[in-house]
Amino acid sequence: MLKLTAVFGTRPEIIKLAPVILETKRRNINLTIIHTGQHYDEEMSGLIIQNLGIPKPDINLTTNTSDSDIQLGEMISQLGSILRKNKPDMVIAAGDTNSVLACSLACSVNNIPFGHIEAGLRSFDNTMPEERNRKLVDGVSSFLFAPSKRAVINLLHEKIDSDRIFLTGNTIVDAVKIFSKNLKDYDSHYINQIREKIKVDYILCTIHRISNVEIPENLVEIIKAFESLNSIDIVFFAHPRTLKKIQEINCYKRLVSIPNLSVFSSVDYLSILKILSDHKCKLILTDSGGLQEEALILKKPCVTIRPNTERPETVENGVNFLVPAKGEIISEIVKQILADVEIQQIFEKIENPYGEGDSSLKILDIIEQNWQNAAFNQTLTYTKGAYSYSLISIQENIDKEEFEKRYKCKICVIYNNRGDPLDITEKLLEKSTAIVKIIE
């Protein structure tokens, strides 16, 4: 019988793993849940676990530091000890935090198969700790559960074995689908507070990313944007660290003096789902990764205060807009989108790039069918000692199978003329695209 372990350490990880955990219970899979303690407190983790109806963690680690490198080392050590004792058949985690990185490395050094949920996301910005974590985690994962076609392409582009990659969709779609069913009768003090204070249309805002919070100039610019957006109410869910930094730069009084802005503490997931679903919520202003996805799913335009995103599908579909941390630009883009009467028509035409809400089913199907062969296999010996790659320009429209037969190769990545990797599911290769091939 399959013995599975799920590891999480932050609120977004709990949300994205919740549908998988619920499905393991439905299938009676032997599951152990570990909380790394990365963001453990009753408000950030304890309440949300109860909120989502998933079991409490079987094991809670103790990480008594906020220093990233020390925290990472402690988590690897503690996880390694637990995994050696419990001997799970496979371990899963979702996301790009230190908890996920520690889990993947603990599995790797102990030769325990690891499945990465949300594999293949790339912002191509190595200044982001999350980007470095993603690449490291994907490199040592046994199974890579990709949330979108773009994520699959990113993994293939990095020469990760295609046999380890599975297009499953994003479990956040499952979460929204599952937990939205109970929203009609759901109530909380957060929702009541907003109902009491906000009687008209509003913007929902969250800011927590290091690139915004740790740079005083960026925080000031965001507050300037709030001040300029004086024609619509703003509901600001402020992360504790964000509020602390605003106070440190002596801008808290300035923030709370904005007449159309209401500041709330971190909110439980069901409350935020209900608020996002509210017809009076007209736009999301954020630097969060998860909210970009949830905005698309719930048909809300999103303005993301970042120079890049690992969710490019939202931008390409014309419902997410990247802006720099400049007050004038932020407010101008927000005003333009709020005035766009056709934005909702765009949502109606979008096919969700993150799937239909059955990702957790696919992930567990794959694990149940393949867990006994999940460990890395020894690399086969090639005449040159390893794979050999070549770049070839296609001079004619040609069938993929015919091309591989003609050149005695296997296509692993196709590029357009700009060098962007493309989907290789289509059989016809078009003229003027370049490909990388593997010589067999």
**Do the beta carbons of residue 160 and residue 144 sit within 8 Å?**
yes
CA-based end-to-end distance of the chain:
37
Catalytic pick from 35, 39, 189, 208? 208
Structure token digits, residue 416: 């357009």
**Do the beta carbons of residue 20 and residue 117 sit within 8 Å?**
yes
Surface-to-core class of residue 386, CB atoms within 10 Å of its CB (0-12 exposed, 13-18 middle, 19+ buried): exposed
Q: Which of 363-366's residues contact partners 24+ apart within 8 Å by CB, and which partners? A: 363/20, 363/92, 363/115, 363/117, 363/145, 363/166, 363/168, 363/171, 364/20, 364/23, 364/24, 364/27, 364/29, 366/143, 366/145, 366/166, 366/168
Closest to 94 in 3D by CA, of 36, 145, 37: 145
Catalytic site residue 116?
Answer: no
Ramachandran region, residue 432 (left: φ > 0; alpha: ψ -120 to 50; beta: rest): left
* H-assigned helices in 27-119: 47-52, 68-86, 98-109
Quickly count: other Cβ atoms within 10 Å of residue 327's Cβ: 18
> Which residue numbers are catalytic?
208
